[in-house]
Structure 1
C-alpha cells in the first residue's frame, strides 16, 4: 500500500509507470483518503474537519510542473454516454518536462503530478464515470 501526504495548496506525489512490451501505463490513485487530506484553519479558534475522501475527477498531461496549473488539450476520440477518449501528442520540446496531472474534487481542487519520461511521444486517456458523484476512472496509456 502506498503512503500519501497531502496538504491543500501544496501537493506532490510520484506515480509509478510500468513498462511492458506495449504502451507505458500510468495510474492515478482513485481517491485521496480523508485521513490524509490536511486543511489548516484559516483563522485562530476555528477547527477543520475532512469528512470524506476526495475522488479522482480528471487526468491529463501537462507541459510543466503542477504549480503552473496547466494541462494540455487533447484530441477527442470515440465517445459514448458513459466513456470517452482523449489523445495527446507530446512531440516537440518541453523545457520544464512532460507531466501527468491527476485532479481530485468536483472542480479539481487538489492536484498531484508526476514527471513523465522525456521520451514519451503520445498518451491516450480513456475515462468513464465512477460510482461516486463527480468521480471518474481513467486508463492512461503512453507510447515512446
Structure 2
C-alpha cells in the first residue's frame, strides 16, 4: 500500500469515528411521545349513577409525565432523581431505573387534566430502559411542550 493510500485510509477512518459515535448515541436514546390531548369522544362515563346523564365537555390536555414500577393500577409512581429549572424549561429525570426489579415491568404514565392525574394514559416500556428525562418547555403548564427521552 502506498504512503498516499495509507494516509487517505487513516483520514477516512478518523472522519468515520464521530459518525459512528453519533450513531451509537442515537441508537441508545429513544423518544417516547404521549398524545398531546385525549379527544372529547375518547372520554366516557360508562356507568353514571342511576338517574344521572354524563357529558364530557372538552378534551383533556397532557399535563405531566412520570415513570412507574408496574401498571398504573398499582400507582407505584417513581420519584424523580433530578429536577432542573431554567427560565422557560424544566427537566425532570429518573437516572437509575435499573435499581432493582420492577414487578409488572417499567411503565411511563402520561397524565391529563387540570387536576392531579385526572386521567392517566400509560404504556409499558422496554425493561432495558435505564433512565428517562422529561422536558417541559413553555411559560404555562396549560401550554407546555413536553418531550420524553429514554436511554438503555
Report if the CA contact (8 A) 2:88-2:139 is conserved.
no
Match of 2:137 in 1: 128
Match of 2:8 in 1: none
Cα 1:135–1:69 change in 2 (3 A) is farther
Match of 2:80 in 1: 74
- What are the within-5 Å matches in structure 2 for residues 4-19 of structure 1? none
Match of 2:151 in 1: 143
* C-alpha RMSD over aligned residues: 2.0
TM-score (norm 2): 0.73
TM-score (norm 1): 0.76
Report if the CA contact (8 A) 1:63-1:94 is conserved.
yes
Which protein has the larger Cα radius of gyration, Structure 1 or Structure 2? 2
Q: Which has the higher helix share?
A: 2
State the alpha-carbon separation in 2 of the partners of residues 135 and 104 from structure 1: 13
Mark the runs of 5 or more structure 1 residues left unpaired by the alignment: 1-19
Match of 2:106 in 1: 98
Of structures 1 and 2, the one with the larger relative CO (CA 8 A, separation 6+) is: 1
Return structure 1 stretches of 4+ with deviation > 6 angstroms.
none
Q: Which has the higher strand share?
A: 1
Q: CA deviation at 1:135?
A: 5.0
Q: How many residues align?
A: 124
State the alpha-carbon separation in 2 of the partners of residues 54 and 129 from structure 1: 18
Q: Which SS does the other structure have where 1:73 is aligned?
A: coil
State the alpha-carbon separation in 1 of the partners of residues 104 and 134 from structure 2: 22
